[in-house]
Structure formats: structure tokens, C-alpha cells
């Protein structure tokens, strides 16, 4: 045999059958909780016009500058694999005239997203998010409802060691004034900063709070924070969000230096991380984006939302003793047949499957003994050993007990409680 030539592309991975259960459960718990809270599912295309993300996510972000999978289609259009959901959901909200519906419009989705990042454990170039957006109301209730739901989903899943950090970004005007103040401060200590932070003082000085570089971290300890510079209306909005979370028993930390890698945020900002994960500990995050829809050419419309990182949640659950998900359901039965009965075995399996049972059969030419072993290996509850024209032997794989059954009624026999 020749050596294996192909591998999954760098930063991507296959989800194997045994890894599926936990991922399915994450989506199922999120779906149930979100739909019970009035969120409707909206699926948008995997790719969009590049300009949607350039404008929506923001020209100065790492995502737009370095991480987009962009290509030109045969009609010469520039398209990009979606790096996140919010810009697409807002585009769809406008495109389908959802401003005319009762507000806020609550939408959720789930699926693959793409960012050309440096891969490491928990950071991939194709990853999966569960995403929720609530568009059309600036009430603090909206922010609180979203944060409560994200927290409850993570709790129901049983993720341990989760921490919620909360901050507020204020209006663009207050932010601009603050950013000027921060730039002036950073310039006053420019020679202590890392080259990267120094190079981005103009474009994105907030990223300095995120730096690992020791000199930069020292400088940031004394830096002014945005939370101290919020307008009164924003401070009040944030206080209300906090008080709603307090009333509902949510524990969180206020992080005045919380920054997120997307440009559209205004006011509330939050991040969930899990201490069980390594460097990529962020299992979800989001915030309010009151200027985004206008930025995309729509009327001024407030919005708020979050995304949970499904791959990281699955990693956290896999690392826990409880494993996080129920095992696969064992098959109801495995049909054991000798060479002359193989075709009949397939017909019978089909009949039983159509009747709603899970039935499997040998497809590899095993002998009877090998087939019994296979029935055991897949954890089948019963083996059905074909013998006569119209009857067969049904063996209980746990007790070893055997009895003759009529093939015409085997589906009923097995379905009976």
C-alpha cells in the first residue's frame, strides 16, 4: 500500500463517530433553552460578500486584517467564508425586513465558522459556534436575558470551572475621547511597549490590554480604563444589567479592561472562560452592538448577542470525569446469518429499520462465530440468528437466554416493553 498522502487541512479536524454524542448534546441543550426563550433558528450562508465582514467586523480587527478565507468566484466577486455570525444575522435581519416584526427579534444559529489563525489546542481554522442574537431593543433586560441563557446552557451541560467576566464599552463618542486619552498615555511610555502594540497605537490601542509582553503589561497596570469614562446613560445601562444579573444569582467579575477582537461592540461586553482549558480558555462571549446595523446601511437599530465555542465546550466536557454526554444507544439487534441467508438478512434488517428498530448485520463475510462476536462488540441487545424459513433464534446478549421467534412478528416482539 502507498503511504497516506492526504491529511485534513492544517487547523481542521474530523469529528469521529465516538466524538459526535457530546457535540450533538451541546447543540441540543442550546436549541431547547433558546427556543424555549423565544429564539427562532436562522441559518445564513457559509460565505458572504467580503465587504459585509470588512464593514461589520471592522477593518482594523485581526479577523479582517489577517484571518479571513477570501476568494474570488468565477464571476469576479470577492467572497469570504464567514468568520463569525453577527454580521450575517444583521444582514439577514435587514434583507428580510425584520424591522417590521415585533422587536426584539431573537435569532439563533449553529454551524461552522472560519478564521485563518495559528492552530493550537482549542484554536482551529474551522470551528463551530452556537450563536444567539436579540435585535431591536436597547433594554438592559435584553443583555441580561442573553447572559442568563448562555450561563444556563453551560451549566446544564455541566461544564466545570466557568467564569464570567463583564465590562462596558460605552458610546462611540465617549469611547473616541477615551481612546485619544489612552493613545496619549501609551505614547508617553512608548519605549516600554512591545513592537506590536507600539505599531498599533493609532489603529487599535485597546489591544494593549490583551498583550502578553511584560513591559506592556506593566504599562497597562496604570492605564486609564474606559469604564471610568462612561457617559451617565451608559453607566446606568450597565448598572441595570448588573442588577438584573444579581437578582438572578449570576456570579461574575467586572473586568474594566475586557477587550474583544471585534469592532462592533458598544456598551455591555462579556466573556465566559473555563479554567480547565489551557491558553484558549474562552468558551463564549458577546455583547451589545448598537451601531452595527446602521454601519451595514440599515436604520439605527440596537442589538446584542453572543457565541459559544462548541469545540472548546466539547474539549472541556471530554476532559471531565463525567464525559458530558450519554453513550450511543446500543443497537436493538444484530442479525446473524450464514452465507445462504445473507440477502434475506439485509431485507429483514431493512424491514425492522422501517418499523423503527435499530438493526445491523454482517457486511464483511464473517462466519457465524465472528458474527456473534461482532454483535457483542457493537453492544447489541439481541442477536437474531436466522435458521428456518419463517422462524429464527433470538438471543438476549446479556443473559444468553434464547428463544424461537416468528420472523413475521419479530418487530412487535422487540418493540414490546
C-alpha span between 76 and 71 (Å, rounded): 9
H-run or E-run covering 385: strand 382-386
Q: Which of 48, 110, 133, 362 binds ligand HAM (CB under 6 A)?
A: 133
> Do 266 and 166 form a contact (C-beta atoms < 8 A)?
no
C-alpha span between 153 and 34 (Å, rounded): 9
Q: Which of 39, 53, 93, 127 binds ligand HAM (CB under 6 A)?
A: 127
Interface of this chain with ligand HAM, residues 306 to 335, rule: CB under 6 A: 306-307, 309, 311-312
DSSP 25-49: HHHHHHHHHHHHTTPEE----SEEE
Q: Which of 33, 80, 129, 268 binds ligand HAM (CB under 6 A)?
A: 129
Q: In the structure grid, which three cell numbers stand for residue 145, read together?
A: 436575558
Burial of 41 (0-12, 13-18, 19+ CB in 10 A): exposed
Tell the smallest beta-carbon distance from residue 93 to ligand HAM (Å). 12
Closer residue to ligand HAM in complex, CB, 279/363: 279
Q: Does 153 bind ligand HAM (CB under 6 A)?
A: no
Interface of this chain with ligand HAM, residues 62 to 91, rule: CB under 6 A: 84-86
C-alpha span between 359 and 332 (Å, rounded): 6
Q: Is the peptide bond before 104 cis (omega within 30 degrees of 0)?
A: yes
> Of 101-109, 125-133, 219-227, 230-238, which part binds ligand HAM (CB under 6 A)?
125-133
Q: Which of 29, 54, 135, 283 binds ligand HAM (CB under 6 A)?
A: 283
Tell the smallest beta-carbon distance from residue 95 to ligand HAM (Å). 18
Closer residue to ligand HAM in complex, CB, 151/284: 284
C-alpha span between 242 and 148 (Å, rounded): 11
Q: Which of 115, 237, 267, 382 binds ligand HAM (CB under 6 A)?
A: 115
Q: Where are the beta strands (DSSP E) in 199-264?
A: 253-254
Q: Does 274 bind ligand HAM (CB under 6 A)?
A: no
Tell the smallest beta-carbon distance from residue 41 to ligand HAM (Å). 15
> Do 107 and 90 form a contact (C-beta atoms < 8 A)?
no
Other Cβ atoms less than 10 A from the Cβ of 417: the count is: 2
Q: In the structure grid, which three cell numbers stand for residue 212, read together?
A: 502578553
Tell the smallest beta-carbon distance from residue 245 to ligand HAM (Å). 17
Q: Does 151 bind ligand HAM (CB under 6 A)?
A: no
Q: Does 29 bind ligand HAM (CB under 6 A)?
A: no
C-alpha span between 205 and 257 (Å, rounded): 12
Tell the smallest beta-carbon distance from residue 117 to ligand HAM (Å). 5
Interface of this chain with ligand HAM, residues 234 to 263, rule: CB under 6 A: 260-262
Binding site for ligand HAM (CB under 6 A): 84-86, 115, 117, 122-124, 127, 129, 131, 133, 260-262, 282-287, 289, 305-307, 309, 311-312
Amino acid at each position: 500500500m502507498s503511504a497516506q498522502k492526504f491529511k485534513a487541512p492544517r487547523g481542521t479536524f474530523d469529528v469521529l463517530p465516538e466524538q459526535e454524542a457530546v457535540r450533538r448534546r451541546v447543540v441540543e441543550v442550546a436549541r431547547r433553552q433558546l427556543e424555549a426563550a423565544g429564539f427562532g433558528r436562522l441559518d445564513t450562508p457559509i460565505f458572504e460578500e467580503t465587504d459585509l465582514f470588512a464593514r461589520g467586523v471592522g477593518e482594523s480587527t485581526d479577523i479582517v486584517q489577517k484571518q479571513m478565507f477570501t476568494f474570488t468566484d468565477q464571476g469576479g466577486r470577492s467572497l469570504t467564508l464567514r468568520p463569525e455570525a453577527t454580521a450575517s444575522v444583521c444582514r439577514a435581519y435587514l434583507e428580510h425586513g425584520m424591522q417590521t416584526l415585533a422587536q426584539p427579534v431573537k435569532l439563533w444559529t449553529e454551524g461552522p465558522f472560519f478564521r485563518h489563525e495559528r492552530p493550537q489546542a482549542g484554536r482551529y481554522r474551522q470551528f463551530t459556534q452556537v450563536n444567539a442574537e436579540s435585535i431591536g431593543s436597547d433594554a438592559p433586560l435584553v443583555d441580561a436575558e442573553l447572559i442568563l441563557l448562555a450561563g444556563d446552557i453551560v451549566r446544564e451541560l455541566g461544564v466545570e470551572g466557568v467564569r464570567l467576566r463583564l465590562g462596558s464599552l460605552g458610546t462611540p463618542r465617549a469611547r473616541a475621547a477615551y481612546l485619544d486619552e489612552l493613545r496619549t498615555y501609551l505614547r508617553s511610555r512608548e519605549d516600554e511597549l512591545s513592537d506590536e502594540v507600539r505599531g498599533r497605537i493609532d489603529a487599535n490601542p485597546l489591544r494593549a490590554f490583551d498583550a502578553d509582553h511584560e513591559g506592556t503589561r506593566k504599562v497597562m497596570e496604570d492605564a486609564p480604563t474606559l469604564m471610568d469614562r462612561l457617559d451617565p446613560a451608559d453607566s446606568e445601562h450597565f448598572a441595570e444589567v448588573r442588577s438584573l444579573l444579581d437578582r438572578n444569582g449570576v456570579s461574575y467579575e467586572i473586568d474594566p479592561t475586557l477587550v474583544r477582537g471585534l469592532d462592533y461592540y458598544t456598551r455591555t461586553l462579556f466573556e465566559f472562560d473555563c479554567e480547565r482549558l489551557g491558553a484558549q480558555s474562552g468558551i463564549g462571549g458577546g455583547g451589545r452592538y448598537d451601531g452595527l446595523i446602521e454601519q451595514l446601511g440599515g436604520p439605527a437599530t440596537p442589538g446584542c448577542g453572543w457565541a459559544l465555542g462548541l469545540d472548546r465546550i466539547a474539549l472541556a466536557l471530554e476532559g471531565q470525569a463525567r464525559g458530558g454526554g450519554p453513550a450511543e444507544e446500543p443497537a436493538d439487534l444484530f442479525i446473524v446469518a450464514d452465507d445462504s441467508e445473507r440477502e434475506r438478512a439485509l431485507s429483514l434488517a431493512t424491514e425492522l429499520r422501517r418499523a423503527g428498530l435499530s438493526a445491523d448485520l454482517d457486511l464483511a463475510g464473517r462466519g457465524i462465530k465472528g458474527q456473534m462476536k461482532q454483535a457483542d462488540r457493537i453492544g447489541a441487545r439481541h442477536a437474531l440468528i436466522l435458521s428456518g424459513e419463517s422462524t429464527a433464534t433470538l438471543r438476549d446478549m446479556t443473559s444468553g437466554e434464547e428463544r424461537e421467534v416468528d420472523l413475521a412478528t419479530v418487530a412487535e416482539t422487540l418493540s414490546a416493553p
